């Protein structure tokens, strides 16, 4: 069999397998092929991790009422543990128990609810009149500072709601005031877990307003393994309300945040373990639970990653995009004829741009490459061997990233911290190759190739940014076999590139 026949056989086989699996999932399992055909549901996964000490383990995680009483669908995924949900007068707690566990442990609890469900922070009537909090005992100067802050808020407040807003608007606008800094340092010295919330609870207590801590989750897929957000629950005279002290005037919206824990009790307790923590992963599923169950139980489970925990699935959101970027690089180099510095650099740069705005990312990348190239020319004068020279470039790139991150933070540009998303090893090799091209072919060739790499990276970014493309890559990963078939076909193309048609236009006229 000739090489061309082998290629065509492989292409046909890949298309049949990939397209067949996708058709089976769509026709038999009911997985929507188009993004807008699905019903959006939020999957919130709580991951409890701790180090077991060889004794019996009991872990308790507070649960939101909305997830237990029928508005949401809950499931536990923790092998080897006995699991139960405890109901204590409407307060629900997930309890895992096991005998004599060692080493690191991970427990999962997942909640599903439809997009648009209320935030969980709606006002709830109190069971009787809550106790009036005791006035905190603070040293003389601290007490006077706290009283001054509270009295200024009371002077413009008509009720508990307006007092809450006035108090925290005052705090947010006076973060540099001596009174605020004096009180905050006191609570930070107490080594409290959430000193700002502890201070807020006691300031409200001085105004005879009962308050307690609550925890919420940001409904944002970009924040993987996020820590719970400390919120404040206070009594308005008739019901308990939850608000974010950093945005006191804003009513919690179920589209932005979901309140996981209320009531002031502990969010997580672990007996028989140490260094316990809980993190949350949020995923927007476009497949209803009934169809997802059929998909997970199908014999073609290998074609999907939806059976993995949400924290693991979040990693694949970017991994499945890498072949898409590679396909764009193949098209731009073999069909269009855009010169690039390798294959992987434009793809990884495009992945970094998914987290950074393209203009800001390109500016940071240009500064990094420009300064790094200058240092690379200094190294070339020392006549180093290739491996030590590249290792030195890695150190220099790392230091440059740290420096740019610190400077941007001092200037109030938090986006600069995301420069760590740029792959430093690839950038180090880029500096090495660019300097060699500069020396052998001239600076014009080096600039053209690095500019082409940035251009291809931007094209790959916009291709990978299309939500429908991301949907196919994540929910139909078997279609990557069809993409592979396309790459194989392009790999056999040996004709003129589009840029070469322009280049040899004068010969055509002749």
Give the pLDDT of the chain (510 residues) as one tens digit per residue.
Answer: 777 888 889 999 999 999 998 888 888 777 788 887 766 778 888 889 999 888 889 999 998 876 665 444 445 556 678 888 888 777 888 889 888 888 888 888 888 877 766 677 777 777 777 776 666 667 777 778 888 888 888 888 888 888 888 888 776 665 556 777 777 777 777 656 677 788 888 888 888 888 888 998 888 877 777 889 888 888 888 888 888 887 877 777 767 788 888 888 889 999 988 889 999 988 877 776 666 666 666 666 555 677 677 777 777 878 888 899 999 999 998 888 888 887 778 888 888 888 777 888 888 888 888 888 888 888 888 888 878 888 888 888 888 888 887 777 777 665 555 555 567 777 777 888 888 888 888 888 888 888 898 999 999 999 999 989 988 888 888 899 999 999 999 888 877 777 777 766 666 555
Residue 127: predicted pLDDT: 74
> Is residue 311, in this structure, part of any structural domain at all?
no
Domain assignment present for residue 185? The answer is yes
Quote the CA–CA distance of 437 and 94 in Å, as a whole number.
Answer: 61
- Do residues 123 and 143 share a domain? no
Q: Token match 């009594």: residue?
A: 235
Of the candidates 263, 285, 307, which is a domain's last residue?
A: 285
Residue 481 falls within a domain, yes or no? no
Q: Give a yes or no: residue 65 inside a domain.
A: yes
* Predicted local distance difference test score (pLDDT) of residue 378: 85
Return phi, psi of residue 304, to 5°: -140, 155
What does residue 89 show for φ and ψ, rounded to 5 degrees?
55, 50
Residues 393 and 464 in one domain: yes
pLDDT of amino acid 264: 82
Determine, yes or no, domain membership for 508.
Answer: no
Q: Is residue 374 part of a domain?
A: yes
Nearest to 215, CA basis, from 258, 172, 252, 270: 258
Predicted pLDDT of residue 405: 76
Do 253 and 158 lie in one domain? The reply is no
What's the token pair of residue 180? 């605020």
Tokens standing for 268?
Answer: 């997580």
Return the pLDDT at 329: 92
Residues 381 and 430 in one domain: yes
**Tell me, what's the pLDDT at 385?**
82
Structural domain boundaries, residue 251: 40-131+210-285
Same domain, 351 and 443: yes
Question: Rounded to an integer, what distance in angstroms lies between the CA atom of residue 135 and that of residue 179?
Answer: 18
In a domain, 233, yes or no: yes
| Calculated CA dihedral for residues 334, 339, 343, 349, nearest 10 degrees | -130
**Do 166 and 80 belong to one domain?**
no
Q: How many domains does the chain have?
A: 3
Confidence at residue 484, expressed as pLDDT on a 0 to 100 scale: 93
175 lies in the same domain as 219: no
Six-digit token string for 256: 């932005």
Tell me the residue length of the chain.
510
Q: Kindly state whether residues 63 and 125 are assigned to the same domain.
A: yes
Structure tokens at 12: 């046909």
Are 272 and 127 in the same domain?
Answer: yes
Instruction: Round to whole Å and give the CA distance between 34 and 211.
Output: 47
DSSP characters over 134-201:
PPP---HHHHHHHHHHHHHHHTT-SSHHHHHHHHHHHHHH-TTSHHHHHHHHHHHHTT-SSHHHHHHH
Give the DSSP letter of residue 111.
E
Same domain, 281 and 142: no
Residues 245 and 375 in one domain: no
Asked whether residue 197 is domain-assigned, the answer is no
367 shares a domain with 469: yes
- State residue 28's pLDDT score: 78
């Amino acid at each position: 069999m000739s090489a061309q026949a082998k290629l065509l056989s492989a292409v046909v086989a890949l298309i049949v397998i990939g397209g067949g699996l996708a058709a089976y999932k769509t026709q038999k399992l009911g997985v929507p092929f188009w993004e807008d055909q699905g019903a959006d549901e939020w999957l919130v996964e709580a991951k409890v991790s701790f180090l077991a000490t060889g004794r019996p383990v009991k872990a308790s995680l507070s649960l939101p009422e909305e997830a237990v009483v029928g508005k949401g669908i809950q499931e536990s995924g923790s092998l080897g543990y006995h699991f139960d949900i405890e109901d204590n007068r409407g307060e629900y707690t997930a309890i895992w128990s096991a005998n004599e566990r060692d080493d690191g442990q991970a427990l999962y609890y997942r909640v599903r609810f439809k997009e648009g469900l209320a935030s969980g922070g709606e006002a709830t009537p109190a069971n009787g009149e809550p106790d009036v909090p005791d006035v905190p005992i603070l040293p003389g100067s601290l007490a006077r500072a706290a009283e001054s802050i509270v009295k200024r808020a009371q002077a413009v407040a008509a009720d508990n709601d307006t007092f809450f807003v006035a108090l925290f608007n005052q705090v947010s606008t006076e973060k540099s005031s001596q009174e605020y800094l004096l009180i905050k340092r006191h609570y930070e010295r107490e080594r409290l877990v959430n000193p700002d919330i502890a201070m807020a609870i006691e300031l409200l207590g001085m105004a005879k307003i009962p308050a307690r801590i609550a925890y919420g989750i940001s409904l944002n897929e970009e924040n993987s393994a996020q820590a719970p957000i400390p919120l404040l629950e206070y009594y308005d005279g008739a019901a308990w309300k939850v608000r974010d002290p950093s945005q006191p005037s804003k009513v919690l919206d179920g589209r932005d945040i979901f309140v996981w824990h209320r009531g002031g009790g502990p969010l997580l307790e672990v007996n028989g373990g140490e260094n316990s923590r809980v993190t949350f992963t949020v995923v927007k599923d476009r497949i209803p639970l009934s169809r997802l169950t059929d998909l997970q139980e199908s014999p073609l489970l290998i074609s999907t990653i939806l059976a993995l925990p949400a924290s693991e699935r979040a990693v694949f959101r970017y991994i499945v995009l890498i072949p898409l970027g590679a396909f764009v690089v193949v098209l731009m180099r073999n069909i269009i004829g855009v010169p690039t510095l390798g294959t992987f650099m434009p793809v990884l740069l495009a992945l970094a741009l998914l987290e950074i705005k393209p203009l800001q990312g390109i500016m940071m990348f240009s500064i990094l490459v420009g300064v790094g190239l200058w240092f690379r020319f200094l190294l070339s004068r020392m006549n180093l061997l290739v491996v030590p020279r590249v290792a030195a470039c890695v150190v220099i790139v790392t230091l440059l990233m740290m420096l740019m991150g610190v400077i941007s933070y001092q200037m109030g540009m938090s986006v600069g911290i995301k420069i760590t998303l740029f792959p430093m090893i690839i950038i180090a090799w880029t500096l090495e190759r660019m300097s060699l091209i500069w020396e052998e072919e001239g600076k014009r060739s080096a600039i053209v190739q690095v500019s082409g790499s940035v251009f291809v990276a931007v094209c790959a970014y916009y291709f990978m940014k299309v939500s429908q493309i991301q949907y196919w890559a994540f929910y139909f990963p078997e279609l990557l076999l069809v993409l592979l078939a396309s790459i194989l076909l392009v790999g056999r193309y040996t004709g003129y590139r589009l840029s070469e048609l322009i280049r040899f236009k004068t010969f055509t006229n002749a």
